[in-house]
Amino acid sequence: MRTPLEQSILIQIRPEKADRDRILAVARRLVAAVDQSGIAEGMVVGSVARDTWLNGDRDLDVFMLFDPSLPRVELEEKGLTLARSIASVYGKRYQEKYAEHPYINALVDGLDVDLVPCYRVASPHQIQSAVDRTPFHTRYISERIGPYTDDVLLLKQFAKTGGYYGSDQMTEGFAGYLCELLIYQYKGFTPLLEAASRWKRYTVIDIEKIAEKEFEDPLVVIDPVDPKRNVAASVSAAQKFSFVEMARGYLERPSAGFFTLMEEPPLPQEEFAEILADRGTFLYCILLRTPSLIPDIVVPQLRKSMAALQGLLERNGFVVNRSDYCMQERLSMMVFELLVDRLPTVHRHAGPPVWERDNALKFLTKERPHLYAGPFIEDGIYVVEIARRHTSARTLLSSSEILETGLGKHVKLSLEEGWEVREGTDCWQEDFSSFLGGFLKKLSPLTRIRKMEGEE
């Protein structure tokens, strides 16, 4: 039974008839254009095909299914040629993009359209590329989701509010297909929330009972069309439990706030300075040129680089409270909040136990240009007190040592061109003010919703 609140939300998030008719008309034209080419079969996939898209969404995915006997190189060449020809006729502009293989993204009647070549295989077991699986996803969901389309819309809007809708590298959340599978598994929005409120550290869902592989991800949803694939592989533990928290909160006290998108407001420079002074910690950031690649490539490299630099700071004695990163079109930022940013010159370094004779001898005879004390023995362990290489976090983050850590490939190339280290209130930049506000005033999704309700 749908509650009055949910009915009112559905009125807002269901696509309006005029939008629905327009999107479906564009879809029919593009599919017909593919069919008329004589070399491929057109098919609408994704949420438009399954009638599970939200009001305001402007994404349309049209797949061009080619004969599976076509060599991969020819698939890419013919697929791009056909997609370009269709985009040039129906689109205002288009560009080539890359996933597992290239495709065309075009603007058609205000819609963001992807024209994607794939193979028309008879079975998911015969797929030759990841995109070949998508038509099977569309058929599977389309045959089953009819009674639950409104439930899917509620879940998608709920996930958008929580910040975990999307399987991209930045979000690490719930893809549309995953939302549909979860609704189908539990037969509705509320039953899903009731189940999710009881999820443990690891959760495994296998709708068709066909799993051929075990996974260690926090959330495992076996793909009904591919028993060796986890549809929820993109979902991080943080995002899974953000969903769990919101499910519990909604079941306890539902409100419109669970479906109301909230952007982090820009943090004014004056407030930023006040928060820093009140926290008493030491904020540092590194600014670098954003590599000219798609976010799904750059974001994991930023995440890896941030972790590597946090490790470098901590190995040198600078305790990190929290760190984060933000990618923007021109510049990217990695930010580190330190509990200590300056250290004494003397550094205590423990060596091997005395009973490890060979290692002990090497330690004793090692040349140390800045030795304050030692080697001496404490509890059977050799110890020396030597000069610290970096007594401030700024000098460490400004040194070439950061290039010697486990950075992402393209992030490292960007850093090799140069980077900027900022400290304290100088970290504030208008373009990153929303990101910095979210970092310093970090809240879980449910806490944010309840705070918003309290303020209202």
pLDDT digits (tens, 9 = 90+) for 300-359: 999 999 999 999 999 999 999 999 999 999 999 999 999 999 999 998 989 999 998 899
The angle subtended at Cα 274 by Cα 272 and Cα 279, nearest 5°, is 95
> Would you state the pLDDT for residue 455?
65
36-45, 241-250, 293-302: which range is least confident on average? 293-302
CA 217 from centroid of its chain's CA atoms: 15
pLDDT above 70 (res 93): yes
**Is domain 269-342+391-440 given the CATH code 3.30.70.590 in the classification?**
yes
For residue 212, count CB atoms less than 10 angstroms from its CB and return exposed for 0-12, middle for 13-18, buried for 19 or more: exposed
Is-contact 288 414, C-beta < 8 A?
yes
pLDDT in tens, 273-288: 999 999 999 999 999 9
Q: What is the pLDDT of residue 367?
A: 83
Please state which CATH class domain 146-259 belongs to: mainly alpha
Residue listed under structure tokens 């696509």? 15
Is the domain 346-387 a CATH 3.30.70 member? yes
Q: Residue 117 above 60 pLDDT?
A: yes
**What percentage of the chain carries pLDDT values higher than 90?**
82
The CATH code that applies to domain 11-130 is: 3.30.460.10
What does the alpha-carbon distance between residue 133 and residue 380 come to, in Å, rounded to a whole number? 61
Distance CA 306, CA 407 (A): 8
CA distance 387 to 371: 7
Q: Give the per-residue pLDDT at 239.
A: 96
CB 269 within 8 A of CB 428: yes
Query: 299 and 270 in contact (C-beta within 8 Å)?
Result: no
Lowest-confidence region among 20-24, 99-103, 374-378: 99-103
Note whether 269-342+391-440 and 346-387 share their fold.
yes
Give the model's pLDDT for residue 130. Answer: 85
pLDDT for 23-79, tens place per residue?
999 999 999 999 999 999 999 999 999 999 999 888 999 999 999 999 999 999 999
pTM above 0.75, yes or no: yes
CA dist 444 → 187, 320, 449 (Å): 27, 21, 9
Residue 333 is classified by DSSP as E
> Following CA atoms 23, 25, 29, 31 in sequence, which dihedral angle do they give, to the nearest 10 degrees?
60
Residue ranges covered by each domain of the chain: 11-130, 146-259, 269-342+391-440, 346-387
Q: Which of 226-230, 253-257, 371-375 has the lowest mean pLDDT?
A: 371-375
- Averaged pLDDT, 185-208: 96
**Spatial strand order in the sheet of 320-327:** 320-327, 331-338, 282-289, 420-423
Q: What's the pLDDT at 167?
A: 85
Task: Give the whole-angstrom CA distance, residue 373 versus residue 393.
Answer: 24
pLDDT at 456: 56
Contacts of residue 13, defined as CB under 8 A and 6 or more positions apart, other chains included, come to 54, 55, 153, 154, 156, 157, 259
- Distance (Å, rounded) from C-alpha 247 to C-alpha 68? 44
Indicate the average pLDDT of the chain: 93
Q: How far apart are CA 182 and CA 167, in angstroms?
A: 15
The pLDDT value given to residue 58: 87
Nearest residue to 326 via CA among 160, 440, 448, 439: 439
pLDDT at 262: 83
420 vs 397: CA distance, rounded Å: 9
